[in-house]
Amino acid sequence: MIPFLDLKSINAQYRDELIAATTRVIDSGWYIQGQEVSNFEQEFADYCGAKHCIGVANGLDALTLTLRAWKELGKLKDGDEVIVPANTYIASILAITENRLKPVLVEPDERTFNLCPNIAAKAITPNTKAILAIHLYGQMAPMPEIMALAEEHDLLVLEDAAQAHGASINSRKSGSWGHAAGFSFYPGKNLGALGDAGAVTTNDEVLAHTIRALGNYGSHKKYENLYQGVNSRLDEIQAAMLRVKLKYLTEEIQHRRTVAKYYLKGITNPAIQLPYCTDDDYHVWHLFVVKTLHRESLQALLHESGIQTLVHYPIPPHKQQAYHYWVEQALPVTEGIHNQVLSLPIGPTIPKDDVSSIIEVCNSWTA
Ligand SMILES: *Cc1c(COP(=O)(O)O)cnc(C)c1O
């Protein structure tokens, strides 16, 4: 069986170092808001090229707390519109609605599945106050154009970088383009903890302080509460795991890029549409997503051949029960994507032979 993502083998590579880091935390007697977290925050901010990094409990909180902080700072208010591509993972949308802001779902670029600045421009109204740009599957949204559009209309830009640690455009990394960025370190992400974890990066010091306070009961100083905050902190033990894994991230991305290159060269079946990427982008291939009109048949053949595949994602947010009041909204491009995409195995440890077998099965398939 070729698993979709072999998390066990990924973490096994660093087993000794992870155990040493765990031991260090256990023996320190300090488990929340200590040296591991502050060191990781500094290291990850440096990695992204951002001034500040604030560790939080998960990626959803990173997005939710950033929008919440902008509300506390008077930059957003209830009902303000946030432009967001419709074909995202539900967390992006939840962060908006949790803050009583209004998601304005737009169709993505048909080639990259990312936010299209021209389509976004047409969705701007006097109530538009922010753009949530998602770097889907590891490829960055066109940030230079998005930032120019935002500047023109005085909009805030939040990057959802949960799938794109280390991705860049013109050597400038995700997490350093928008006014802030939310990262997830869910175990299956390109930089994964051994449990839930997340972070925000930003160059805005006031925003950084506000998010830090909001995630710590609204307190910036022990027993003094500025806001009605929540408890969303990065644990020392997860920060210690992430510090080990951050050291190998560049290497792991390199392996993903090599695998992607094999797929892009090797899969020649005309019934399978390969992912599109431009030369300016440093794509980190969180997912390798192909498109086909006959997904079930391709997935079935791969399954029979012992190859696990997944669909990211089968149901778009506007078709979810959670947002039943949007069900009338017609977003044909988004719906087409959700009906046709299939994610092939990719990861930092998948052997070349496995990739070759997957390519062979893909090329032998007739719809
Ligand atoms: C994983 C993910 C999130 C949420 O991260 P969690 O850590 O699971 O809360 C948000 N947005 C996108 C695009 C994701 O892939």
Minimum-distance ligand 1 atom for the alpha carbon of 184: 7
Q: CB atoms < 10 A from the CB of 97, how many?
A: 15
The tens digit of pLDDT for each residue in 171-200 reads 999 999 999 999 999 999 999 999 999 999
Counting residues of the chain whose pLDDT is more than 90, the rounded percentage is: 96
The tens digit of pLDDT for each residue in 115-128 reads 999 999 999 999 99
- Spatial separation of the C-alpha atoms in residues 5 and 348, rounded to whole Å: 9
Does residue 58 line the site of ligand 1, with CB under 6 A?
yes
The tens digit of pLDDT for each residue in 100-158 reads 999 999 999 999 999 999 999 999 999 999 999 999 999 999 999 999 999 999 999 99
Q: Where are the alpha helices (DSSP H) in 133-235?
A: 143-153, 205-214
Does residue 40 line the site of ligand 1, with CB under 6 A?
no
pLDDT at 278 over 80: no
- Kindly report the protein residue whose alpha carbon is nearest to atom 12 of ligand 1: 162
Q: Report the pLDDT averaged over residues 40-56.
A: 98
What is the reported pLDDT for 367? 84
Minimum-distance ligand 1 atom for the alpha carbon of 163: 15
- CA dist 166 → 131, 139, 183, 340 (Å): 21, 10, 11, 27
- Spatial separation of the C-alpha atoms in residues 255 and 138, rounded to whole Å: 14
Does residue 198 line the site of ligand 1, with CB under 6 A?
yes
Question: Tokens 């992204």 identify what position?
Answer: 48
- 235 near 33, Cβ under 8 Å? no
pLDDT at 327 over 90: no
Does residue 56 line the site of ligand 1, with CB under 6 A?
no
The tens digit of pLDDT for each residue in 197-232 reads 999 999 999 999 999 999 999 998 888 999 999 999
Considering the chain, what is the average pLDDT of its residues? 97
User: What's 345's DSSP letter?
Assistant: P
What is the reported pLDDT for 310? 98
Exposure letters 274-310 (e unless 16+ CB within 10 A, then b): bbebeeebbbbbbbbbbbbeebeebbebbeebebbbb
pLDDT at 328 over 90: no
What is the reported pLDDT for 281? 79
User: Pairing between strand 198-202 and 219-221?
Assistant: unpaired
The tens digit of pLDDT for each residue in 290-317 reads 999 999 999 999 999 999 999 999 999 9
User: Pairing between strand 81-85 and 128-134?
Assistant: parallel
| The two three-digit tokens of residue 213, written as one number | 């306070």
Torsion of CA 45, 46, 49, 55, to 10 degrees: -10
The phi, psi pair for 243, rounded to 5°, reads: -65, -35
pLDDT band at 279 (very low <50, low <70, confident <90, very high): confident
Whether residue 189 lies in the annotated active site? yes
The tens digit of pLDDT for each residue in 14-44 reads 999 999 999 999 999 999 999 999 999 999 9
User: What's 276's DSSP letter?
Assistant: P
What is the reported pLDDT for 1? 93
Tell me the CA–centroid distance for residue 287 and ligand 1, in Å. 13
CATH of 248-364, one of 3.10.129.10, 3.40.50.1110, 3.40.50.300, 3.90.1150.10: 3.90.1150.10
56: part of which helix (H) or strand (E)? strand 52-56
Q: Measure CA 268 to chain center.
A: 29
pLDDT band at 235 (very low <50, low <70, confident <90, very high): very high
Task: Render 106-155 in DSSP notation, one character per residue.
Answer: EPPPTTT-S--HHHHHHT--TTEEEEEEE-GGG----HHHHHHHHHHHT-
SS3 173: strand
- Spatial separation of the C-alpha atoms in residues 292 and 367, rounded to whole Å: 9
> Which residue type does 108 have?
P
Q: Which of 135, 245, 251, 259 is nearest to 191 (CA)?
A: 245
Ligand 1 binding pocket mutation candidate from 56, 65, 92 (most atoms within 8 A of CB): 92
pLDDT at 280 over 80: no
Instruction: Give me the CATH code for the 7-242 domain, please.
Output: 3.40.640.10
Query: Where are the domains positioned within the chain?
Result: 7-242, 248-364
